[in-house]
Structure 1
Amino acid sequence: MKEFFKYVLATVVGVFAVSVIGLLLLFVVIGAIISSTEKEVVVQNNSMLVLNLDRTIVDRAPNDPFEDLELPGMFSSVKTIGLDNIMTSLEKAVDDDRIKGIYLDISMVNGGMASVEEIRNALLAFKEKSDKPIYACADKMMFGQKAYYLATVADKIVVHPEVGVDFRGLGGEMMFYKNALKKIGIEMQIVRHGKFKAAVEPFMLDKMSEENREQTLTYMGSLWNHMLKGISEERDISVEKLNELADEVQTFKKGKAAVESGLVDAAKYKDEVLDDLREITGIEGSKGVPVIGVKSYASAQVKGKSKKYSRNKIAVIYASGDIGMSLGSGEMIDGDKFGKEIRKVRQDSSYKAIVFRINSPGGAVFDSETMWREVKLAAEEKTLVVSFGDVAASGGYYIACPADKIMASPNTITGSIGIFGQIPNFGELLNDKLGITTDVVKTNENSDLLTLTRPMTEHERAMMQANIEEGYNTFISHVAEGRGMTKEEVDEIGQGRVWSGENAKEIGLIDEFGGLTDAIKLAAKMEGLEEYRTVDLPALPSPFEELFKMGADNVRAKILKNELGENYRYYEYLKKVSGMNGVLARMPYDIYLN
C-alpha cells in the first residue's frame, strides 16, 4: 500500500509539473503576442530594406503567433512571408528618405514562379520610380535559378567566392506508384475525361504518357523562355548565350567563373559586401548598417503614405489551397464558406468591385460548382476581376471563368480543364495479403455500388464514366459561357491540358498579364473609381484565435515541417494523393521549380 501511494504521489507531482510548464509556455506565447501587437516599428535613418525570400511566399501574411516564436523542438522553423507585405513595403520605400536602398538576400527563393514574377515586376517599378539602388547577394552555398532570375533586376549582383549560380535549365520528375500498389495488392480504378488529365497517371502507368510529356514540355519551355528573356534584358546577355551557359551547367562553377560569364558582377566575402552597403547608406568606418525586413516595414508609418479614407470599397477575396479537400496540412478552400463570403460582398452596396485572387490546383467538383455559381452571380451585379497566383488550374480555373477579366503572370500554371474519378480496390490486399475476407448482404442489385473490396463491374464503370462525361460537359459549358467561346473550342484546348500563363493568353483563357496590384487597378478603372480602399477577405484569424485553434494535428504538422524542412512537401503530397477519391477537378501534380 505504501508503494501504491508513492507511485500515485509521483504521478500527481508529474502531472502538476507538466501543467505548470504548459501554463508558463502559454503565458510566454500570450506575452509575445501582446508585445508584438503593441510594439511600434522604428525605421532608422540610412537603412537598407532587406528582402529575404528563404521563407515560404504566401499571398497573405498570417497572424500566426508561433511563426517567429523560438521554442526548440516544438514549432516549425518553416516561416512564411506575405506577398502583400512585400508589395506594400516596396511601394512605401520609394519615397521614404530613411530607406537608402534594397538588399536582396537571395540565395534561394521558396515560392512559385508567378509570385517571383510579381516581386520582380515590383522591384522594376521601384527602380523606375526612385534612384535608390538594389543590391543582390547570394552567400549561402548555392544560387538557385529562380533566385537568380529575380536577382537580375538588381543594379549589382554579388556572390560569395565559393558560391556558384545553379544555371542549367528547367527539369521535372514524376513519381509513379502503379507497380508498388500492385505489389501490395491495391488496384486504383480510374475513370477520366481528357487525354492530358495526368493526375491519375501515377496510379495507372509506370512512366509519363506521350500526351503528358507533350504538355509538360510545352509549359516548361514557355516558363524557361520567359525567364531567359527577362535575364537577357537586364544582364545584356543574348538568349543564345544563356542557353549555351545552361547547357554547359554552371551549377558547380564558383564565383569567379560566374563573374567571367557575365551572370554576376562580383565575387565578394561578407566583410566586402558590408563595405558596399556602408557606401550605399553613407555609414562611416566600421559601424553596422541599419536594416529592416519587409515584414516589419510593411506596418511602419511612412510620412505621406497613409491612404485617405474612402466609402468606395473593392473586396479582395483570397482563395488559396485545394478546393474542398482537407489533405495534408496545407490551406483548403471550403466551397460553402467562400460562397458565403462572395455572397455577402455581392449584397453589400458599399463594395463597388471584386478582385478574386486564386492560388489553387483545383479539387472537389462539388465545391468548385458551388463557388462558380456565387462568382457568376457576383459578376452579374458588380465588376469582378480574377487574379491568378502561382497556379489556378482545373477547379481553380472552374471558379474563375465567369469573371469580367482574368489576369495572370506569364509563368502562372493554369488550364487543366478536365475531371477524373478514382476508386481504389483493396480486395487483393485484404484477401490474399492479409487474409481478410468480406461478404455482402443487399436488397437490390447495385446496393453495394463502388465498394472498395472488389473491382468495379462494367455497369458501375459505365455509370461512373457517364458521370465524368456529364461533369466535363458542365465544366466546358461554364468556360465557353464565361470566355465567349464555343464548347468545341474549349474542348480543343481542354482535355485536362496544363498551360503556362503565356500559353493561356494566346488561346484565350486569360485576358491580360499582371499581378494582384494590377488586377485591383483594373477593377477600379473598369468601375470608374478614382478613390477607393481595399478590404481583404475572408478576415484572417487574430493571433489569439490562431493560438486557441492549435490542435494535435497542427502541432504534429509543425513538428514534421521542422524535422523534414523542404522535404515535407513530399510527405504532404503523399497524404494528398492517398485521399483523392471520388470525382475531382484537380491539377495533374504539384509543380516545384528551384
Structure 2
Amino acid sequence: MKSFLQQTIASILGTLVGLTIFAGGSLLGLIGLITFLAALSSSSEPVGLKGRSMLALDLSLAIRDEPGQAEDSIDRWLSDRPRTIPLRVLLDTLAQAAKDRQITGLYLYDSAGTGPIAGYATLREVREAILEFRKKKPVIAYGTDWDERTYYLTSAANETRLHPAGGLEFNGLAAESTFWSGALEKYGIGVQFVRAGKFKSAVEPFARRDFSPENRAQTAALLQDLWQTVLTATGQSRKQSIAQLQAIADQGGLLRSDQAVKLGLVDRLAYDDQVIERVLKLADREDNKPTFQRVAVADYARQVGTVEAAQSKLGDRRKNATGQEIALLYATGTMVTQTTDGERDAMNSTAIATELRKLRKNEDVKAIVLRIDSPGGSATAADIIAREVSLAAKDKPVIVSMGDVAASGGYWIAAPATEIWAEPTTIAGSIGVFGLLPNIQKLGENNGVNWDAVTTAPFANIGSVTRSKTPAELALLQSSVDWTYDRFLDHVAQSRSIDRAKVEELAQGRIWSGKAAADLGLVDQLGGLDQAIAAAAKAAKLGKDWVLAEYPRREPFGLSWLEDKSQALWSRLGWSQSPLIARSLAQLPSQLWLLNDDPRSTYVWWPDRLEIR
C-alpha cells in the first residue's frame, strides 16, 4: 500500500512539475512547489501523548552522527534511503523518556528485519543509553530473527522475546572486503600504487584479489576486540560467561528460537498478540483502548522537543543567560578539498576549517567538542582541518569524540586536540599514506585507441592516466608519499607528546580498536559523546552553567535543503540530476571517485567499505 501511495504521489508531483515548467515557472516554479510541500510537511502537528504510552525504538533505523534534525514527511515519502535518526536526538530522547511519567517503558523491535544501520561504536552508545533507561523503567525486546548486531542491543532489555518461528544468529563476527583488481584488469584498467606503511590497506581492493597477510592480521585483531566487547556486554546482561557464549558461537551459533531460549539467550517465545498483551500490562491496561498508545522515538522527540534540544544543554531546554556555550562540531565523511557531486557525505575541508575558525574567535564559545566519524581522505584536506584544530586548542579546550571511525586522516585531525575520547569499539589509527595511480592504456589498446605526448621536461606528463608510470615516475611519487608520511609521524609525535620512534612503531597504516588505541596512548579516555561533552565542560571550568550548540547549522528552506528535496524528487520520479560521466563513474567503486580529489594525489584514508557483520 505504501509503495502504491508513493507512486501515486510521485505521479502527481511529476504532473505538477511538468505544469510548472510548461507554464514558464522553470526553476522558480519548482522551488515554489518544493517550498509548498515543505509547508505542508511542517504544518502537521506532532503526535500528542494521550495517557500512558510505550516508547518504541525501531532497530532498523540508520543512526548517524549529524546535527539534530528530525526526518520530515517529505523525506519519508520521497527518499528511498533508510530512515535515519541523529545519534544525539536518540540519546536525548531516551534520557527524557526515562523521566517522563507518561512513558511506561521502552519497546525494541526491528520493522525491516535488517538490524541497526550503524557501527559498533554507535551501537555501544545506544546500548548504554538503553541500560540507563532500564534502571528506571522496563525494556522489552521482540523480534523474529536477530543477528549479532541486533542482539547486542536487544540483550540489554529486561525481557527478550522471539517469535516461535524465528531464530538468533550468534556465530561471531566476520569482515569482508570487495576486491576489484580482477575486474579492472579484465576491462583494461591498470592500477599502480605507492604507499608508506605496510599495513596501509586502502590500495588493496584495487591491486589485490585477497587480503594481504598484514591486512588480515590487523583485521583479525580488530574483530577480536569488537567481539570481546560484544561477548562481555552480552554476558553481563544475560548472566552468561564469555566462555559459554564463545562455545555457542563455536558450535554453529545459528539457533532456532527454542534453542535460544533453552541456552538462556532469550527469555521466552511469543506471538505478536502476546507481546501486545504484555505491553498493555505495563501501562496498567487490560484492554487496547485509545488511552494507551505506542509512540515512535522520532514522534516523541518532536513532541517533547528533544530535536530542538540538540541545540541546547543536555537536560536543560532553556537558553543560558550567561551565554557560555559548548560547541559540538560534526566532522563526518571522507575528507575532500572540494565537494564532490557524487558523494553527498563527503567532508569539505574548507567548510570544516571555516567553522573551527569561527568557533575559535567566538568569545561565547568556551569549549569545542569535535565529533569525528571519518576514515580520512585527502592528505591536504586533513592538514587544512588539523591546523585549525591546533589553533583552536591553544585558545580553548578542544575535546575530540570519536564515533565509529576516526582513522588515518580522521586521526590526523584528532591528534592536536586537548583530549581524545573514543569508544572501545571505535576504529582508530591507520597512520599511513598512499597514492593510487590508475591508467587506461590497456583499455585504449584493446579498442584501437592510442595516446602520445610531447613534453619539455622528463616528468611533465606524470599525471597522465593514458599510460602506466615509469620506474622513475614511481620513485618520484613514492618520495612524495614518504614526505607526507614523515609529516604525519611528526604531527602525531608533537601533538600527542609521544616519542617519534614509538609513533612510527604504532603507525605503518595499522588500524586499532578504540580500546587498543587507549592502551597505546593514541587515545586519552574511553567513553561516548556525552562523556566527551562533560569533559569539555570540566576543562573549561563551566560547572553546570552552559548550553550546547551543534554545528554546522542547517538552515531550514536554504539551498542545501532544496537540493536535498529536489534530488529525492528526481529519484522518486525515476529521473537523475547527475551528468553522464557521474552516472558512468557510479558503476565503478566510489572510492575511485574520491581518489581524484587531492592536488598531490596523496591520501590518508582507511577503506571504510570493509563490511563487518
Whether the TM-score (by the shorter chain) exceeds 0.5 is yes
Letter in 2 for 1:143: W
Selected match of 1:340 from 350, 354, 375 = 354
The 1:203–1:70 alpha-carbon spacing in structure 2 relative to 1, beyond 3 Å, is: closer
- Could you tell me which residue of structure 1 aligns to residue 93 of structure 2? 89
**Equivalent in the alignment of 2:605:** 586
Q: Shift of residue 28 of structure 1?
A: 7.6
1:517 corresponding residue in structure 2: 530
- Structure 1 match to 2:439: 425
CA distance in 1, matches of 2:439, 2:369: 43
User: CA 1:473–1:127 in structure 2 vs 1: closer, same or farther (change >3 Å)?
Assistant: same
**Greater mean alpha carbon deviation, residues 522-531 or residues 374-383:** 522-531
Deviation at 1:387, TM superposition (A): 0.2
1:133 maps to 138
1:201 is the counterpart of 2:212: no
The partner residue of 2:227 within 216, 224, 249 is: 224
SS at match of 2:424: coil
What is the letter of the counterpart of residue 375 of structure 1?
Answer: V
Structure-2 change in CA distance of 1:191 and 1:344 (3 Å): same
Deviation, 1:548, is: 2.0
Letter aligned with residue 489 of structure 2:
I
What is the aligned counterpart of 1:50 among 48, 56, 65? 56
Distance 2:418 2:564 in 1: 39
Q: Could you say which residue in structure 2 is the equivalent of 1:577? A: 592
For the Cα contact (< 8 Å) 2:41–2:74, is it kept in 1?
A: no
Q: Report the Cα distance in structure 2 between the residues aligned to 1:427 and 1:295, rounded to whole angstroms.
A: 52
For the residue of structure 2 that corresponds to 1:110, the secondary structure is coil
Amino acid at match of 2:382: S
RMSD, aligned α-carbons = 2.9
What's the CA shift string for 1:40-79, capped at 9, x where partnerless? 55222211111112121112344665654425xxx31521
Q: Which moved more, 1:537-546 or 1:470-479?
A: 537-546
1:506 maps onto 2:519 in alignment: yes
Matches within 5 A, 1:297-312: 297-301=300-304, 306-307=317-318, 309-310=320-321, 311-312=323-324
TM superposition shift of 1:186: 1.8
In the alignment, residue 160 of structure 2 is paired with which amino acid? I
Count, aligned residues: 567
Question: Residue type of the partner of 2:610?
Answer: I
- One-letter code of the match for 1:319? A
CA distance in 1, matches of 2:16, 2:359: 54
Task: Report the counterpart of residue 281 of structure 1 in structure 2.
Answer: 283
Deviations 1:174-227 (A, max 9, x none): 222222222222211100000000110122222211111110000100000110
Report if the CA contact (8 A) 1:63-1:541 is conserved: no
Offset at 1:18?
Answer: 7.5
Match of 2:126 in 1: 119
Q: Distance in 2 between matches of 1:560 and 1:590?
A: 27
SS at match of 1:122: helix
Quickly say closer, same or farther: Cα 1:332–1:67, change in 2 above 3 A. farther
Q: 2:564 & 2:81 partners in 1: Cα distance? A: 17
Contact 1:186 1:426 in 2 (8 A): yes
- Give the superposition deviation at 1:555: 5.5
SS at match of 1:299: helix
Contact 1:92 1:302 in 2 (8 A): no
Tell me how far 1:543 sits from its aligned partner.
4.4
Which residue is 1:457 aligned to? 470
Residue 299 of structure 1: how far off its partner (Å) = 3.1
Mapping 1:373-522, distance limit 5 Å: 373-431=387-445, 433-522=446-535
Amino acid at match of 1:104: L
CA separation in 2, counterparts of 1:204 and 1:100? 55
Match of 2:263 in 1: 261
Q: Do the aligned partners of residues 68 and 44 (structure 1) sit closer, same or farther apart at CA in structure 2, a change above 3 Å counting?
A: farther
Counterpart AA for 2:123: V
1:335, CA displacement in angstroms?
0.8
Q: Matched residues in 2 for 1:332 and 1:511: separation?
A: 27
Mapped to 2, the partners of 1:401 and 1:348 lie a distance apart of 23
- Aligned partners of 1:485, 1:559: CA distance in 2, in Å? 55
DSSP 3-state at the match of 2:401:
strand
Q: Which residue of 2 aligns with 1:366?
A: 380
- Structure 1's unaligned 5+ residue stretches are 1-11, 563-569
The match for 1:548 is: 562
SS for the counterpart of 1:387 is strand
CA-to-aligned-CA distance 1:246-297 (integer Å, 9 cap, x gap): 122233x322111111111011010000000000111222336412222222
Preserved contact between residue 146 and residue 167 of structure 2 (Cα < 8 Å): yes
For the residues of structure 1 that align with 2:222 and 2:341, how far apart are their CA atoms?
Answer: 26
Report the more deviating stretch, 352-361 or 526-535.
526-535
1:146 equivalent to 2:149? Answer yes
Q: Percent identity?
A: 33
For 1:157, the equivalent position in structure 2 comes to 160
Name the SS of the counterpart of 1:399 in structure 2. helix
3-state secondary structure, aligned to 1:232: helix
The 1:363–1:77 alpha-carbon spacing in structure 2 relative to 1, beyond 3 Å, is: closer
Identify the residue that residue 565 of structure 1 maps to in structure 2: none
Q: Does 541-550 or 553-562 show the bigger shift?
A: 553-562
Mapped contact 1:64–1:543 kept (Cα < 8 A): no
Displacement of 1:151 after TM fit?
1.1
Are the equivalent residues in 1 in contact too, given 2:176–2:612 (CA < 8 A)?
no
Distance 1:113 1:524 in 2: 26
Partner residue of 1:322?
Answer: 334
Task: State the match for 2:169 in structure 1.
Answer: 166
Tell me which amino acid in the other structure corresponds to 1:93.
A
Distance in 2 separating the partners of 1:435 and 1:219: 47
The one-letter code of the counterpart of 1:365 is A
Deviation of the 1:14 alpha carbon: 11
Cα drift, residue 465 of structure 1: 0.7
Report the Cα offset of residue 125 of structure 1. Answer: 1.9
1:7 aligned residue: none
For structure 2, the 5+ residue unaligned runs are 1-14, 307-314, 577-584
SS in 1 for 2:303: coil
The 3-state SS of whatever aligns with 1:70 is helix
1:234 maps to: 237
One-letter code aligned to 1:114: A
TM-score, normalised by the number of residues in structure 2: 0.86
Q: Distance in 2 between matches of 1:521 and 1:376?
A: 21
Cα distance between partner residues in 1 of 2:575 and 2:224: 32
* 1:300 CA displacement: 2.7
Instruction: Evaluate the alpha carbon distance shift between residue 451 and residue 329 of structure 1 in structure 2; reply closer, same or farther with a 3 A threshold.
Output: closer
Partner letter of residue 284 of structure 1?
Answer: E
The answer to which of 480-489 and 581-590 deviates more is 581-590
8 Å CA contact 2:376–2:407 kept in 1: the answer is yes
Contact 2:371 2:403 survives alignment (8 Å):
yes
> In 2, distance between residues paired with 1:83 and 1:345?
22
AA of the residue aligned to 2:491: H
Query: Helix, strand or coil: the match of 1:300?
Result: helix
Identify the range of structure 1 (102-111 vs 319-328) with the bigger mean alpha-carbon deviation: 319-328
Query: How far apart are the structure 2 equivalents of 1:416 and 1:543?
Result: 39
2:193 alignment partner AA: I
The equivalent position to 1:102 in structure 2, one of 82, 101, 106, is: 106
| Alpha carbons of structure 1 residues 305 and 43: separation in structure 2 relative to 1, 3 Å | farther
